[in-house]
Amino acid sequence: MNEESLALEHGTLTYLRGGEGPLVVFSHALSPLAWGSLDRLMGSCTVAVPVWERSTVPANTMGELGWFEALAGAMGFQRAALCAWSMAGPAAVYYAAEQPACLSHLILVDIVGLGAGLPPLRWRDLPHLVLTRLLGHPTRGLVRAMWENWVRPGNVDTKALEEATYRFFRDESKAPEDPTDDGDDADTLIHVLPAVESPTLVLSGRHSSVLGPRQGRIAAALLPLGTHIVFEESSHALQLEERDKFQGAVASFVTGESAELSGHE
């Protein structure tokens, strides 16, 4: 993939670009680590992955997808598919409801705001919870515990993801609070789904405590054009745990080509 940059009104967006075909833009604060190699998908789609650590756009612009339309236009596309994972999911759902003309498809990968939201922790994690309260951001130990619950044992090497997650939460704790953020996504997100006009693919991991199969099925049923796929061998990070199935599902959904996928509902 090639690294490119785009000058926006309030800063520069750095992103990775590769492949040919309809455009799929990937949204997550840990990009591109959050998605890993997208080589299979690039055989049938153009992909764009923002690199936030090398971008200078404000945090609210990043989180609210204020860059999405400009990025698609700069790449020569009038519309694009948006793929969001985990904590990037609520913003993607709101954006899809408010800016339907910008989206060709929406892919929601085990997002927060529709299910339990956080992995279960153990008693031995209690000291890290106390330190987290004192520091204002999760400790490395707590982040490690979270990732141990977010992937199935042995499926993914999470060391780089743990460090990136820790840096994100540490830096986020220093940012000024957004007065427009009421922290109510978990209560309101499910009520936004019927307003999403774009064809939407909901992906959930069988072993995920964030958005499990039951919540994923309910979410897909509330979407006017919703489809649900369960990843049987995955927890929360299904795009990393079942990489080939994930990229095959996205390619099939965005290009309209049929594919036999287990877990399709």
| Number of neighbouring beta carbons within 10 Å of residue 123 | 6
Same domain, 8 and 66: yes
* 154, 174, 194 - which closes a domain: 174
Same domain, 109 and 127: no
**Residue 261's pLDDT band (boundaries 50, 70, 90)?**
very low
pLDDT given at position 122: 63
pLDDT given at position 216: 94
Residue of 180 and 26 predicted with greater confidence: 26
The reply to whether 64 falls in a domain is yes
Same domain, 111 and 127: no
- Among 120, 124, 97, 118, CA closest to 108: 97
The reply to whether 263 falls in a domain is no
Same domain, 25 and 142: no
Same domain, 135 and 167: yes
Same domain, 154 and 198: no
Number of domains in the chain: 2
Task: Quick: pLDDT tens for 203-230.
Answer: 999 999 888 899 999 999 999 999 999 9
Q: Report CA torsion sign: 109, 111, 114, 119.
A: positive
What angle, rounded to 10 degrees, do the helices at 159-174 and 140-150 form?
Answer: 130
Q: Structural domain of residue 128, as residue ranges?
A: 123-174
Same domain, 159 and 230: no
Same domain, 104 and 194: yes
CA dist 176 and 155 (Å) reads: 36
Cβ-contact 18, 26 below 8 angstroms = no
Give every strand in the sheet of 23-27, ordered side by side: 2-8, 11-19, 46-50, 23-27, 80-85, 103-109, 200-205, 226-231
Task: Quick: pLDDT tens for 3-18.
Answer: 999 999 889 999 999 9
The reply to whether 262 falls in a domain is no
Cβ-contact 120, 139 below 8 angstroms = no
Same domain, 112 and 243: yes
CA dist 103 and 95 (Å) reads: 9
Same domain, 44 and 105: yes
Same domain, 130 and 209: no
The answer to which of 48-57, 181-190, 193-202, 236-245 has the lowest mean pLDDT is 181-190
Same domain, 16 and 59: yes
Give the type of residue at 204: S
